[in-house]
């Protein structure tokens, strides 16, 4: 709750789930659902803890891209606003790429998608060597959204190389 409320302005700008400050009950329900999805091998959500302070400073997760794309996973992330630009999101995303290709059977590609105007988020896959696949029109649902989504992908072959 502390990390989300300290980051509300930034999360509100980009994340659908943060259009109002989530209540403690809503967060608890989300974490319980996340745990169930983890056990069902559908979504693997993690909290990011800062080594020096031990504080929770964000969250990152892997999930199946879709029921049709059975060989693809997607990564999502957010980092507490007063801890950004320290490499936390890219470190978490790099670990999830390694975990996805190593631990989930038959995965050939891992994607990250975001709003095309979200420069901080775009910088993460670019830094990790993902390939830019292009932009697609999409619904505007938060105040930061531009109406264009950007899609990035890394293939197993490129990762292994
Ligand atoms: C996007 C977000 C997760 C980035 O987290 P972070 O921990 O600051 O990212 P990192 O420190 O790993 O930075 C990765 C790269 O992004 C760059 N970057 C970070 N913030 C940036 C910004 N505001 N503008 C441009 N580049 C930025 C960093 O410089 C770094 O590149 P470099 O190492 O080549 O210099 C964070 O800003 C955030 O939580 N935003 C709100 C939620 C959100 O938009 N989530 C993604 C939804 S798709």
Using DSSP's 3-state secondary structure scheme, residue 48 falls into: strand
Structure confidence by residue, pLDDT tens digits, 106-133: 999 999 999 999 999 999 999 999 999 9
Q: At what angle do helices 119-127 and 88-103 cross, to 10 degrees?
A: 50
Q: Which residues line ligand 1 (CB under 6 A)?
A: 10-11, 14-15, 77-79, 84-90, 114, 118-121, 123-124, 127
pTM over 0.85: yes
pLDDT higher than 90, residue 161: no
pLDDT of residue 3: 97
β-bridge mates for residue 77, sequence order: 60
Going by the DSSP 8-state scheme, the letter that residue 43 receives in this structure is E
Which strand (E) or helix (H) includes residue 47?
Answer: strand 43-49
Going by C-alpha positions, the residue among 101, 76, 100 that lies closest to residue 89 is: 76
Structure-block tokens of residue 99: 């975990």
Ligand 1 atom with minimal separation from the 91 CA: 12
Structure confidence by residue, pLDDT tens digits, 55-89: 999 999 999 998 888 999 999 999 999 999 999 99
Q: Tell me, in angstroms, the distance from the centre of ligand 1 to residue 84's CA.
A: 6
For the domain made up of 2-160, give the CATH fold: Aminopeptidase (3.40.630)
């Amino acid at each position: 709750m502390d990390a989300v409320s300290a980051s509300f302005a930034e999360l509100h700008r980009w994340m659908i789930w943060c259009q109002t400050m989530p209540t403690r009950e809503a967060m608890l329900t989300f974490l319980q659902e996340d745990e169930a999805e983890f056990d069902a091998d559908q979504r693997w959500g993690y909290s990011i803890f800062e080594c020096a302070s031990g504080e929770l400073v964000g969250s990152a997760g892997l999930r199946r891209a879709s029921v049709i794309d059975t060989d693809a996973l997607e990564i999502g992330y957010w980092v507490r606003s007063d801890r950004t630009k320290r490499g936390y999101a890219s470190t978490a995303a790099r670990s999830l790429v390694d975990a996805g290709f190593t631990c989930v059977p038959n995965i050939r590609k891992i994607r990250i998608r975001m709003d095309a105007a979200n420069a901080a988020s775009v910088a993460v896959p670019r830094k990790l060597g993902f390939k830019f696949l292009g932009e697609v029109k999409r619904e505007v649902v938060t105040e930061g959204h531009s109406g264009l989504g950007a899609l990035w992908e890394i293939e197993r072959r490129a990762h292994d190389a």
